[in-house]
Amino acid sequence: MRRLLPSFGIPGVAACAVLAFALWSAKATLEPLEAEQARLAAALEVGRKADPAARMVASGPMGPRERVDAVYRFLDRNGGTVEDALAELYALAEALNLPFRSADYKLTSFAGSTLSAYTIRLPMTGTYAQVRAYVENVLQQMPSVALERIDFKRPAPSSPRVEATVEVTLFVTRL
């Protein structure tokens, strides 16, 4: 210390002390935060395994080319029937214990095309995780469906359930 004082001076020694304190402080602060992060990550993984809504979400998004190919395969396979698509929308909701009781439909036809678009508004009540999993499953399993909008409303701040309106567009082929 006596040798450092003449070569660094009082400001240099003070700077070294501040640097040592900063390193100790960072270590003392970061270790508990890293432990908390690991605990939360483990709790999140346990929650994902226990929550059926989180389990149902398909893995990995498709790229743009795969999405277009999947839409055409879906339309060819299902013939683009509205009834089959609505049945699948309902089945995906039922699988998450999130059935909807009503729906509003609006048909749009495109001139010079064999495609039609049904805009469908689906009011539903469930947990946020259920509604989110439903939307993700619909988008993964039904390539001819596009999400237009989703509105959430929580009836009370302490309520775990939300009232949601999911609006999707279903593209179908016309005969």
Q: Average the pLDDT over each of 3-7, 65-69, 171-175 and give the range with the smallest value.
A: 3-7
Angle between helices 128-141 and 82-95 (to 10 degrees): 140
State pLDDT tens for residues 55-66. Answer: 444 445 667 777
Integer CA distances (angstroms), 165 to 4, 79, 104, 125, in order: 70, 28, 11, 9
> How high is the pLDDT of residue 59?
46
**pTM over the 0.85 mark:** no
User: Comparing 79 with 40, which gets the higher pLDDT?
Assistant: 40
Residues sharing a CB contact under 8 Å with residue 122, sequence separation 6 or more, in sequence order: 89, 93, 100, 103, 165, 166, 167, 168
